[in-house]
Amino acid sequence: MAGSVIGDGVVTLDLEAAPLWERFYMVAPLVVIGTKEDDHYDLAPKHMAMPVGWQHYFGFVCTPRHSTYHNAKHYGAFTVSFPRPNQVLLTSLAASSRCDKAGNKPILNDLPTIAADTVDGVFLKDSYLFLECNVERIVDGFGQNSLIIGEVVAAHADERAVRSSDKDPQQMIYKNPLLAYLPPDRFATIENSLAFPFPAKFEK
């Protein structure tokens, strides 16, 4: 690490030395984005992904170098699968390189999928949350990357993952663990949680 210390044990990172986001670990979601590609479907894992605002919008970061970007732009839709911790290997396989002149990913033929209901797409089977999105806008210009934002037009979830007043949150998460990605190269299973200490009269 390089740079001047601005406090005990704190250093300023050199932004030119290496990609900033690879210099430390942080918690991120791990989702699988599905898009239609010619006469088949493509699946690709993404970790720079999140709801966009409190309404029904979901976005993820992609690059025009990837087929996911062009598929979403051309067909105007994408799906989002939230895999479980025991599906991390399947999620990783979805990132396999294209290996022929046509740019196909043969491994996708072996991944278990289910069809979406509203948009033309597929999900990674046995995930715990499924979103169907129509592309709302694509914002280019974040260096070599772009933000693809979709409007959620349908959502489906494993009933065990749906919150309700009669479910204890800790037991719910313990029995149905969540998958987290710790970029750039690790993942974690979240089983334990605590109630967040919101201040009195807090409003979102």
Q: Tell me how many domains the chain contains.
A: 1
Model-wide pTM > 0.75 = yes
pLDDT digits (tens, 9 = 90+) for 145-185: 999 999 999 999 999 999 999 999 999 999 999 999 999 99
Q: Is it the case that residue 1 has pLDDT exceeding 70?
A: no
Lowest mean pLDDT among 3-17, 74-88, 172-186: 3-17
In a domain, 123, yes or no: yes
The pLDDT of 83-98, averaged and rounded, is 90
In a domain, 29, yes or no: yes
In a domain, 141, yes or no: yes
Q: Is it the case that residue 204 has pLDDT exceeding 90?
A: no
In a domain, 195, yes or no: no
In a domain, 135, yes or no: yes
Q: Is it the case that residue 136 has pLDDT exceeding 60?
A: yes
pLDDT digits (tens, 9 = 90+) for 105-133: 777 778 999 999 999 999 999 999 999 99
Q: Range of 144's domain?
A: 24-159+167-190
In a domain, 197, yes or no: no
The pLDDT of 43-59, averaged and rounded, is 97
Distance CA(48)–CA(115), nearest Å, equals: 24
Q: Is it the case that residue 100 has pLDDT exceeding 70?
A: no
pLDDT of residue 36: 96
CATH number at residue 123: 2.30.110.10
Tell me what percent of the residues of the chain surpass a pLDDT of 90: 80
In a domain, 5, yes or no: no
In a domain, 57, yes or no: yes
pLDDT of residue 18: 79
